[in-house]
Amino acid sequence: MFGKILFGVFGVLIPVALAYAAAGYLPGTTWPVIALGATAYSMMALNLMLAARLPGTDALFGGLDQIYFTHKWAGITLLVAAFLHQQIKISTDGVQVIETLSRLAVDVAEISFYALVVLVLISFFKRVPRMPKITWEIPYDLWRWSHRLLGVVFAGFVFHQFFVKTPFDNNAFLASYLNILGVLGLSSFLWSQFGFLARRRSYRVTSVVKHPACTIVDLEPTGGGISARPGSFAFVKFSTKGLGEPHPFTVSQVRPNGGIQFSIRGLGDFTRKLRDAIAVGDTARVEGGYGRFDYRRGGSKQVWVAAGIGITPFLAWADHLKAEGTGDIRLIYCVRNPEEAVSIERLHAAQDRVPGFQLTLHQSDTDGRFDAAKLVEYLTFDIGQASLWFCGPAPMREGLVKGLKANGKTPRSVHFERFEFR
Ligand SMILES: Cc1cc2nc3c(=O)[nH]c(=O)nc-3n(C[C@H](O)[C@H](O)[C@H](O)COP(=O)(O)OP(=O)(O)OC[C@H]3O[C@@H](n4cnc5c(N)ncnc54)[C@H](O)[C@@H]3O)c2cc1C
């Protein structure tokens, strides 16, 4: 919440106030038009800062999910503000500037604006809206490139704001504010594109297990490893042919010697290829850990619900539970049949070791569909007193939360991890 307030203050309030201070005395729509441009520009700079995953942002926003939410809606809002800014003409008669540069600044802004429209639309819509029959999705690669190009578009806006003819004094606080945000936005963009060179760590694959539901890959650092908390995720790419693009996976085990594990379900090109191609001795580059999915914020009564490969953060948590001082934790692991359950022996070991931890394996083949009523049936305490932690498909989570609410069993808080960025 605090992060969203800060975003609103720096992205909207300050630019609007400074635009009024710089041009409020001018006639007509001049200052609102400048305020719209300054707001679009400030929000874009802040959005680039969010995309750079700078340390501390997760905590400010209360998790990656809230960051995505702000990032996405700020993108749409700034597009509307940029559109209005571009449509309404203001008079700059009598302003002293280098004419050619100013004209170029207007042209650059116009091209950047149209590029912004296309790129934001690609980013916003994963597939054709309101047409469920068309299942084609914008490929992730195209989406990623569209996001990368947004940094170049911002550079166009920085050029525009620096050289365009403005009807207010260029020494006004507004100009300085926008210049600072320009530098911060561009630096964040460069950091997000090239910072991985400093953040990535080298690992070696020490074990590969082809479980029926996923491929379990163990890695050990060849030098200093990443710092991952249980529940963190990391980007990993391998030296193996065809596996050179970094993908995000939850670290399903964090070992005291720095070793880490990923449990990867074959869902698409990369993850299926990995199952066939990865071998002991391959090298990997890992960047992380990221995320704030951390049960330690959840109080003494907790309900953990995992569906399918959504078990990965809970595996890392279960390993991490202390025998003493752990409250009541009930993990419900939803699978179709026992063969699908990943690393179940570690969950049983945690159950034997930690008195407050209990595992329920819900097998939909024999136990039927898992829903809110089933969840309440499995619990020995009131879910109204507990925090709910969920990792699995979004429709299942929404159904559960809705069902619990309808039965007057709303959990004290709901936390979830999404296996998707867009
Ligand atoms: C925070 C987080 C944690 C995750 N943890 C796990 C885990 O523990 N185990 C597991 O099996 N899966 C996990 N995933 C999902 C995993 O990242 C995707 O299944 C995988 O990247 C799909 O790639 P693909 O090429 O095989 O499939 P595709 O069919 O190409 O992609 C399927 C979807 O995955 C996403 N995706 C694809 N490529 C990338 C990429 N390079 N970077 C980011 N997202 C991408 C896109 O939304 C895409 O629509 C996690 C995802 C996230 C965001």
Q: Flag whether 422 is in a domain.
A: no
> Is 249 close to ligand 1, i.e. is its CB under 6 Å away?
yes
Question: Do residues 145 and 244 both lie within one domain?
Answer: no
Q: 136 lies in which domain range?
A: 2-194
- Secondary element (H or E) of residue 197: helix 196-199
Report the pLDDT value the prediction gives residue 419, as an integer from 0 to 100. 79
Burial class (CB in 10 A: 0-12, 13-18, 19+), 387: buried
Question: Do residues 12 and 156 both lie within one domain?
Answer: yes
- Of 290, 314, 330, the residue that ends a domain is 290
Average pLDDT over residues 322-342: 94
Residue 395 sits in a domain whose CATH number is 3.40.50.80
Q: Flag whether 58 is in a domain.
A: yes
Q: Flag whether 112 is in a domain.
A: yes
Strand partners, 283: 204
- Secondary element (H or E) of residue 65: helix 64-87
Please give the Cα distance from 358 to 381 (Å, whole number).
Answer: 12
Question: Do residues 85 and 234 both lie within one domain?
Answer: no
Question: Do residues 238 and 349 both lie within one domain?
Answer: no
Atom of ligand 1 nearest to the CA of 273: 26
Q: Which of 3, 155, 149 is nearest to 70 (CA)?
A: 3
Q: Flag whether 73 is in a domain.
A: yes
> Is 136 close to ligand 1, i.e. is its CB under 6 Å away?
no
Give the chain's domain count. 3
pLDDT of 129 > 70? The answer is no
Identify whether 289 is preceded by a cis peptide bond (ω within 30 of 0).
Answer: yes
Question: Do residues 171 and 243 both lie within one domain?
Answer: no
Residue 245 sits in a domain whose CATH number is 2.40.30.10
- One-letter amino acid for residue 331 of the chain: L
> Is 271 close to ligand 1, i.e. is its CB under 6 Å away?
yes
Please give the Cα distance from 132 to 115 (Å, whole number).
Answer: 27
* pTM metric for this prediction: 0.82
Question: Do residues 406 and 303 both lie within one domain?
Answer: yes
- Of 173, 194, 215, the residue that ends a domain is 194
> Is 386 close to ligand 1, i.e. is its CB under 6 Å away?
no
Report the pLDDT value the prediction gives residue 178, as an integer from 0 to 100. 96
Please give the Cα distance from 363 to 81 (Å, whole number).
Answer: 50
Nearest CA, atom 26, ligand 1: 268
Structural contact between residues 395 and 368, judged by C-beta atoms closer than 8 angstroms: no
CA 126 – ligand 1 centroid, Å: 14
* Per-residue tokens: 421: 């960025």
Confidence of residue 417 (pLDDT cuts 50, 70, 90): confident
Strand duo 260-264 + 247-254: pairing: antiparallel
Per-residue HEC secondary structure of 4-73 comes to HHHHHHHHHHHHHHHHHHHHCCCCCCHHHHHHHHHHHHHHHHHHHHHHCCCCCHHHHHCCHHHHHHHHHH
> Is 215 close to ligand 1, i.e. is its CB under 6 Å away?
no
Question: Do residues 155 and 281 both lie within one domain?
Answer: no
Question: Do residues 327 and 251 both lie within one domain?
Answer: no
Q: Minimum mean pLDDT among 68-72, 136-140, 144-148: which range?
A: 136-140
Q: Who contacts 239 (Cβ-Cβ below 8 Å, separation ≥6)?
A: 282, 283, 284
Strand duo 233-238 + 247-254: pairing: antiparallel
